[in-house]
């Protein structure tokens, strides 16, 4: 039977491996998707690739799956971080979802001087959005989401071998100018109000930061994240 549902589990996967389900997973599979004993689903765990697993036990509050065969290898994204200032809840969820689909390896929400929604950011909710996005888009890796951190604190401990693509609205209309530098990268997207003059000056002074334009128009923060990820993947990522 072909797999109907994809599910992320924090459990080893291998031939004959039993995978216990928690209450939420059991409700989703057996209450929402109406699966039953004998049905086959696909499992991922960010480590062991993708596996077909058969429902061995199905209950209202728990269940057990049995791994059968591996159907796909683990596909890791490029070593690319997305660093962004959260915006409204639904638009922040959109940014996280698209970051997973477009191949970010780590997602870091930051509080900048003009960030308005920092007190409403929940790491667990954003991580859940990552899981859902990976399940739906066919990915086999779920990027981790960090706790919210102040932008100054993040930059103070930045690994100097990681280049930073700094999307600066002040560069509007300028050539993109993304340097073709190998190695790890990160993309930084500011809040709806943009970066403060102080933040912009600090970023321009960093040797690993590269200010880029995202075209002739000012983009919303969520649109900018998608555009920047697409631009990086096209020039330096795994789309080639």
The per-residue pLDDT for range 144-166, each reduced to its tens digit, is 999 999 999 999 999 989 999 99
Boundaries of domain holding 191: 80-236
CA angle at residue 68 from 63 to 74, to 5 degrees?
A: 100
What whole-number distance in Å separates Cα of residue 69 and Cα of residue 50? Answer: 9
* Angle at CA of residue 6, ends 99 and 4, nearest 5°: 135
Say whether both 61 and 112 belong to one domain.
no
Q: Is residue 1 part of a domain?
A: no
Query: Residue 187 in 3-state DSSP?
Result: strand
Arithmetic mean of pLDDT over the chain: 94
Name the pTM for this structure.
0.93
What confidence tens digit (pLDDT) does each residue in 196-229 have? 999 999 999 999 999 999 988 989 999 999 999 9
* 102 & 30 share domain: no
Spell out the residues 6+ positions from residue 205 whose beta carbon is closer than 8 angstroms to its own: none
Q: Is residue 20 part of a domain?
A: yes
48, pLDDT greater than 50: yes
The tally of domains found in the chain comes to 2
Phi and psi, residue 171, nearest 5°: -90, 10
Q: What is the CATH number of the domain that holds 21?
A: 2.40.240.20
Cα–Cα distance measured from residue 138 to residue 135, given in angstroms and rounded to the nearest whole number: 6
| pLDDT level of residue 1 (50, 70, 90 thresholds) | very low
- Judgement on whether residues 53 and 19 belong to the same structural domain of the protein: yes
Asked if 68 and 187 sit in the same domain, the reply is no
Which tens digit of pLDDT belongs to each residue from 91-126? 999 999 999 999 999 999 999 999 987 668 899 999
65 plus 85 within the same structural domain: no
- Is the domain of 201 the same as that of 156? yes
**Which pLDDT score is estimated for 236?**
93
Domain of 231: which CATH number? 3.40.1280.10
Helices 89-101 and 123-137: angle between axes, nearest 10 degrees: 40
């Amino acid at each position: 039977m072909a797999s109907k549902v994809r599910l992320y589990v924090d459990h080893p996967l291998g031939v004959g491996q039993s995978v216990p389900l928690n209450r939420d997973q059991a409700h989703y599979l057996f209450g929402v998707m109406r699966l039953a004993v004998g049905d086959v689903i696909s499992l991922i765990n960010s480590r062991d690739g993708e596996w077909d697993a058969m429902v061995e036990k199905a209950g209202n509050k728990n269940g057990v799956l049995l791994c059968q065969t591996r159907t796909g290898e683990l596909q890791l994204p490029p070593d690319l971080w997305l660093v962004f200032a959260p915006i409204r809840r639904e638009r922040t969820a959109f940014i996280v979802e698209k970051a997973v689909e477009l191949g970010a390896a780590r997602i870091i929400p930051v509080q900048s001087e003009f960030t308005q929604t920092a007190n409403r950011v929940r790491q667990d909710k954003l991580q859940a959005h990552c899981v859902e996005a990976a399940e739906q888009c066919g990915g086999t890796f779920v990027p981790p989401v960090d706790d919210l951190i102040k932008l100054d604190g993040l930059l103070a401990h930045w690994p100097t071998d990681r280049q930073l693509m700094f999307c600066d609205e002040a560069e509007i209309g300028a050539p993109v100018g993304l340097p073709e530098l190998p190695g790890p990268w990160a993309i930084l997207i500011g809040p709806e109000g943009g970066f403060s003059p102080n933040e912009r000056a600090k970023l321009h002074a960093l040797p690993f930061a590269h200010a880029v334009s995202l075209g002739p128009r000012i983009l919303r923060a969520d649109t900018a994240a998608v555009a920047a990820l697409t631009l990086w993947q096209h020039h330096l990522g795994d789309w080639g």
